Structure 1
Amino acid sequence: MSQVVKGELGQRLDHYLSRITPFGFAGAALLAQDGEVVLNKGYGLANRAEGIPNTAQTVFSTGSISKQFTAAAIMKLEMQGKLHTGDPLTKFFPGVPADKANITLHHLLTHTAGIINYSGEDFVMADKEETVLKILAAPLRFSPGEEYAYSNAGYSLLAAIIEQVAQQPYEQFLHTQLLAPAGLHCTGYRLPDWSATNVAHWYNGRNDFGTPLEKPYPSWNLLGNGDILSTTEDMFRWHQALLGNDILSEAVKEKMYTPEQQEYAYGWRVVETEHGRCIQHNGASSYGSSALFRRWIDANVVLVLFCNTDYMGEVLIRTLQEPLEALIFGEDVPLPPPLPAAPPCPLETFAGEFVLPEGDTIHVSLENDSLHLMPSSQAGINWLLSLSEAETAVYNQSFQQTQTVMAAALAGDTEPLFNSLARREARTSGVLRTWQELVEEVQPTEIKVLGIRPSLYLEDACEAITKFTGPEESGWFVSIWRDGQNVGVLLTELTSDNIFTAVAQPVTIDTLVTYHLSYAQPRQFQIVSESSSIRELISEQNIPARKV
């Protein structure tokens, strides 16, 4: 399928994605409505060094969307009478430890088995037997069936079971039983002939991680749980195949789409939205790739989104999911202004340090044909957001509150954190579980409040991002504040601490515009020049930043 931009809806999404590309988006998107593809197009670069663009045919990583292929393979084997989702691990592996003897395929499929999340690094070679033994030897996080905890390792066990029952390699079974019959010719790990395809490079900031084909791939740390390669068109073909009964029966699909804890079914999240039932999954990697597959069954709308770069340390698809849904279903999203064909002034003239009146700095760098404005402190974040005096006071207060309660929690005193909670009695146990999860994973010894920004989760609120660093791991704790009280907490994953960096482009000789994809709010700054040199940038609140 060649590039498609069709109808009012296709043009609407294309307009948005084209506008945000100079501000940090790179990837490809497919949108179908009532069975017709109205958008299938690539944006940005697949290979920055060689200037190769992303197109409708570019190959991307599906990330953890791969899990639904593994789930489909298990269901295919159940259709064939070769296994059942109620089968225990002891049926497939000898010497299963007693605490794991009652784990079933159903537990693995729904992330309720209690086993570890990761068995090792994605691109570090590990054989099947070694990986299975490592997973089975690790202590359980909880008794099977009692709780939900996402587990990549659980899907690696499922892949090993598929190989044992099918008596053929995992990818070969997927190809012969699922992918080829569904018409997917550009989907897999190593079986497709990738030589004539454009496989997108992965980018984390400036770092080019190449493609997975250049790495030990797929390792058994990855097989069955992530990073199958595909195209937007192939994923749409898979959606169409799942609508019929040739690949999987209606009864099997009903079972596969029945959600358990945390709305997780077999390889899919199944959620009820204001637009009806949505069957979905996403995927992401610390190397910069991410993917989103959303199937609004009742509305008959399908979105496939691939990204081959991160966004200031955040997963790019997460910043785009909400605005894309809004656009698809008729809402408006603020856009950056159109850019001139050529920059009105050389971008390199902006590079350097800018100093705010109280001495805080904004570091400006030129990256990937755009300007990156990195604040050194909360004062710099406030300036980039063009906050009013009242808003600045709220953000600064929230910063201090976060610093106080998080430092106390690190020292072993969680009482200040609990005292800050709105609806303390109802929320204390949940917040404690979130905090304990961070402590268990990271074993933190250091803390740094990175900053405060508008909340991505609650309206009329701001959120603090706090980084906790341990001997080997780091974790990020999000505290959401409203009216001086903590109204929400969650854990997030970042690939860098640059999340408050704003991407900017000059739109005229005297106007610079920033647009942060997470907030979807363009901000204008006056450019003050002298003899072709940039002297100052002045915010919408008339606060200057002087270049030094």
Structure 2
Amino acid sequence: MRLLKRSPLDRIFLFIILPLCWAGAQATASGETGPVEKMKTYMNRLASFGFHGTVLVAKEGEVLLHSAYGLAQVNTGIRNSTSTVFSTGSVTKQFTAAAVLLLEMDGKLSTGDSISRFFDNVPEDKAGATVHHLLTHTAGLRSQFGPDDESIARDDLTRIILEAPLDSPVGSHYQYSNAGFSMLAAIVEIVSGTGYEAFLRERLFIPSGMHHTGLELLEIDNRLVSHSHNEGLGFPSPLDRPDNCWHLKGNGGILSTTMDMYRWHMTLQGSDLLSEAARKKMFTPYVREYEDGDSFYGYGWVIEEYRPGARMIWHNGGAVPHGWSCAVYHFVDDGAVIIVFANKPIDGRLPVDDIVQNLARILLEGECTMPPEIVEIKAEEFERYQGRYVLPGGGEIIVEVEDKEIRFKPEGQEAVNVLFPSEYEALLPKYNGMTEKLVNAIASGDYGRARAFFDQRVESAEKWLAMIREWWASFSQLGAFLNVRALGTRMGGGAQTYCELEFERGSVIARFFWMMGKCGGMRSNVEPMYKKLLPLSESRLGGYSLANGQVVRAEFSPGGGLTIVTGERRLRATLMQ
């Protein structure tokens, strides 16, 4: 499942002018050391809590931090380096936008051109759509028309997109659409007479010195490619794609490095590649993204203020369940840029935007809530504390030592909230109920009712119906369906609800992804939700919530007691005998 750029339930709230209000017992990156040392400390500690990726921070043209963490390839043990290439995801859209602007500079098209100039048989409902509408996600197109890895020819995809009904009238409002940028990639090929990636390579990448950026034309040692950490998918490489993946082309898929992305940033600051007029068009805030928000979309970039009068230009990208993610943020009025790649989620959440925000807090404000400092004690030393602990409200936490990790597995929303604190806790229980209703509808064969739960902007109703049936058929060997039990919902790229599906001959853990009140997909046979905690002492453990900077502390006491502290919340659990 592709990650949409962001959900109203999972907003990136601005931070520079906000006070740090977390509990004073949590360490902050303050004191006598400078911002560079603080950022290094933050990243080193975060790596202990599961960050795998690379980071580059620069200010006023000087690179202050450029480091790599964790593993590029789990199965071979190859570590990430500052030369490792990662998937940029939807950050690819800015390359497509730049290609269109180059062609406009060449006099070969205009952003005001109707798409009818480039495609035959454009239906009446799309006749008013222009290149500008595609660039600003205002053409009314559905986000996606098929999976990224499906091989489909360019002209077949553009025909499908043009024949499909619009989700909204052209120009009526912003609606993020990967398909719209695939249409733009097709326009680049039609107008230039060359392949999309070949055009990017010759006109953008090589002139910018980006010799480690590309996809099908990229020649790279496999040892320098970051792979997914998802064992269930076989630790895939982002290069493992068939030819003609036009569902992805133009809107995602390009690989790059932190340094190449920094070179791209420098190109956009005033080289001869794009004219001043073209750059102005790229960074103009044309359309508000969300009715209640203050962010606007330009051409392949988001523009908003991070403090009054201070402009931030950014974009992110990622894919679930692969765990690839990328974020590029330019804090214009402070002359700072932060670039982060990752190839594994943290607590089920793509981590790059949160990392950018925390590094920016340190760089621009001097403070950030730090992950706790851990001590070297083997996880096996905590085996004596294993068991099922009951919270006051009936929620349960299972403490287990697995794969040399200490894992706290929550069951029930109370337990999820204490381990994965979120400002949206009041909204999360509804997703437990919605998930149970959805599963029961599928189990009873009421596919029409089940289909209504799914996001029609991501896939058509017919495709959702086919996927629902295929998904449920995969459990046929388990016998009759007995029950569904929601285990809890946490935030992470939207809301993620875990549930246990009970059948006559076994049970399955499944995870449902929710965005804007609609289901965006589901996966079965997933690991149970768990929080990895690390030793702070012989009886105390610590965890870190990347989403809001809160530290989770757990302390075992004689007689089977467990006290968990998150911010100002303190709960005592009792070991079940």
Normalised by the shorter chain, which TM-score bucket?
0.7 to 0.9
User: Does 1:508 pair with 2:537?
Assistant: yes
Q: Contact 2:312–2:330 at 8 Å: present in 1 too?
A: yes
What is the identity percentage for the equivalent residue pairs of Structure 1 and Structure 2?
34
Whole-Å separation in 1 of the counterparts to 2:244 and 2:576:
48
Match of 2:351 in 1: 316
Do structure 1's residue 329 and structure 2's residue 364 form an aligned pair? yes
Aligned-partner Cα distance in 2 for 1:190–1:477: 32
1:75 and 1:437, CA in 2 relative to 1: closer, same or farther beyond 3 A?
farther
Contact 1:63 1:284 in 2 (8 A): yes
Partners of 1:268 and 1:147 in 2: how far apart? 17
Pairwise mapping of residues 104-115 of structure 1 onto structure 2 (< 5 A)? 104-115=130-141
**SS of alignment partner, residue 160 of structure 1:** helix
Query: Quick check: 1:87 aligned with 2:113?
Result: yes
Corresponding residue number in structure 1 for 2:253: 227
**Shift, 1:491, TM fit:** 8.8
Provide the TM-score with structure 2 as the length reference.
Answer: 0.75
Structure 2: stretches of 5+ with no match in the other structure: 1-32, 290-295, 441-451, 469-482, 501-510
Structure 2: how far apart are the matches of 1:210 and 1:52? 14
Query: 2:554 aligned with 1:522, yes or no?
Result: no
Matches within 5 A, 1:338-487: 338-340=373-375, 342-346=376-380, 349=383, 353-356=387-390, 360-365=395-400, 370-381=405-416, 384=419, 438=455, 451=488, 475-476=513-514
Q: Per-residue deviation at 1:332?
A: 2.4
2:334 is paired with a residue of what secondary structure?
A: coil
Work out which of the residue numbers 315, 321, 335 in structure 2 matches 1:281: 315
From 25, 49, 58, the equivalent of 1:23 is 49
Please give the alpha-carbon distance, in whole angstroms, between the structure 2 residues aligned to 1:357 and 1:115: 47
2:506 aligned partner: none
- The answer as to whether partners of 1:347 and 1:371 remain within 8 angstroms in 2 is no
Look up the match of 2:298: 265
- Aligned with residue 153 of structure 1, among 179, 182, 187: 179
Shift of 1:109: 0.4
- In structure 2, the CA distance between the partners of 1:464 and 1:36, relative to structure 1 (3 Å rule), is closer
CA deviation vs aligned residue, 1:152-205 (integer Å, no higher than 9, x gap): 011111111111111111111111111101111000012221126511111348
SS of match in other structure, 1:291: strand
Q: CA deviation at 1:272?
A: 2.0
Q: Corresponding residue for 1:54?
A: 80
1:176 to 185, 195, 202: 202
TM-fit CA distance, 1:441: 6.0
| Structure 1 residues not aligned, in runs of 5+ | 1-6, 412-434, 458-462, 479-488
Within 1, Cα distance between the matches of 2:420 and 2:84?
A: 35
Give how far 1:320 is off.
2.9
CA deviation map 1:357-392 (0-9, x unaligned): 6664323455675433120112323554799xxx9x
d(CA) in 2 for partners of 1:54 and 1:367? Answer: 24
CA RMSD of aligned residues (A): 3.9
The verdict on how the C-alpha distance between 1:221 and 1:382 changes in structure 2, with shifts beyond 3 A counting, is closer
Residue 293, structure 1, aligned to residue 328, structure 2? yes
Write the letter of the residue equivalent to 2:409. Answer: M
Q: Partner amino acid for 1:526?
A: E
Of residues 65, 74, 84 in structure 1, which corresponds to 2:100? 74
Per-residue deviation, residues 299-327 of structure 1 (Å, max 9, x unmatched): 10001010101233322224434323322
Q: Separation in 1 of the partners of 2:108 and 2:297?
A: 24
Q: Specify the alignment match of 1:33 in structure 2.
A: 59
Question: Distance between the aligned counterparts of 1:398 and 1:169, measured in 2?
Answer: 46
* Letter in structure 1 aligned against 2:358: P
User: Which residue of the partner structure matches residue 126 of structure 1?
Assistant: 152
Partners in 1 of 2:385 and 2:189 — Cα distance? 54
Q: Distance in 1 between matches of 2:359 and 2:523?
A: 23
Contact 2:189 / 2:196 at 8 angstroms: preserved in 1? yes
Report the TM-score when normalising by structure 1. 0.78
- What letter corresponds to residue 379 of structure 1 in structure 2? E
For 1:42 and 1:146, the matched residues in 2 are separated by 43
Task: Tell me, in whole angstroms, the C-alpha distance in 1 between the residues paired with 2:513 and 2:338.
Answer: 30
Secondary structure in structure 1 of the residue aligned to 2:58: strand
1:310–1:366: structure 2 CA closer, same or farther, 3 Å change rule?
farther
Return the alpha-carbon distance in structure 2 between the equivalents of residues 505 and 154 of structure 1. 44
2:11 match: none
Cα 1:519–1:449 shift into 2, 3 Å = farther
1:249 paired to 2:275 = yes
Partners of 2:430 and 2:228 in 1: CA distance: 37
Per the alignment, do residues 289 and 405 of structure 1 end up closer, same or farther by CA in structure 2, a change over 3 Å counting? closer
Would the alpha carbon gap of residues 465 and 331 (structure 1) be closer, same or farther in structure 2, given more than 3 Å must change? farther
Measure the CA separation in 2 of the matches of 1:91 and 1:354. Answer: 65
